[in-house]
Structure 1
Amino acid sequence: MEKTDWRFKIAHKEAWIGVGLALFNFIWWFGFAYGLGSRPVDEYSYIFGLPDWFFYSCVVGFLLISVLVIVVVHFFFTEVPFDEEEDS
C-alpha cells in the first residue's frame, strides 16, 4: 500500500485557509454592500467622494483582505519543496 505524501496534508490545510479567507471576503463585501447600500440614495453618506457602502465593502475590504492574506501566508503557510523525493 502506497503511503500518502506528507505535502498533501499541508496543501489540504492551506486550501481550507484559502477558502475561509474567500468566504470572509465575500461576507464582508456582501454585508456592507447590501447592508449599507440598501438605503435610499438620498440617505447615503460619502467618504472621499464614494458612498459609504462602497468605501467599506470595496476599498476597506480590499485593504483588509490584502493584509489578512499577507499575515496568513507569512505565519500559517509552510514552504514545501516540489521536487520528487527519491527513495534510497
Structure 2
Amino acid sequence: MGELEKPQKRKQDKRFKIANREALIGVGLAIFNFIWWFAFAYGLGDRSPENYTYVFGLPAWFFFSCVLGFVVMVLLVIFVVKVWFVEVPFDEEEGEQS
C-alpha cells in the first residue's frame, strides 16, 4: 500500500476570515434581536389586556418589543457596520492572479 498523501495546507484568503467574523457578528445581532423581542413581548404581554400599560397609545409590550426594538436594532446595525465591518475587495489579489 502506498503512503497516504497529506493534504496541502493552502493559504486561506484573508477575506474569508473577515467574512466569517462579520457573519458571526450578524448572527449575534439576530440572536440579540430575538431575545429583546421575546423578553418584552412575552414578559410584559402575558397579562390580561385589562392590566396593560400603554406607551403612545400602544400596549407597553408591543411598544418595547416591536417599536423600540426596531429602533435599537437599526442603531446597533449602523454602529456595527461603521465600527467593525471593513471594506473587502471582490477581485483577486495581485499575487494570486495567473
Provide Cα deviations, 1:4-51, integer angstroms capped at 9, x if missing partner: 111000101101000000000000000000000001110001111110
TM-score (norm 1): 0.95
The reply to whether residue 69 of structure 1 matches residue 70 of structure 2 is: no
**Aligned residue in 2 for 1:21:** 29
Cα distance in 2 between the residues matched to 1:59 and 1:15: 25
| Rg comparison, structure with higher value | 2
| Aligned pair partner of 1:58 in 44, 61, 66 | 66
How many equivalent pairs are there? 88
If asked which structure has higher relative contact order (CA below 8 Å, sep 6+), I would say 1
Identity of aligned residues (%): 65
RMSD of equivalent CA atoms: 1.1
| Structure 1: runs of 5 or more not aligned | none
Residue from 25, 40, 45 that aligns with 2:53: 45
TM-score (norm 2): 0.86
Specify every segment of 5 or more residues in structure 2 that has no aligned partner in the other structure, as ranges. Answer: 1-7
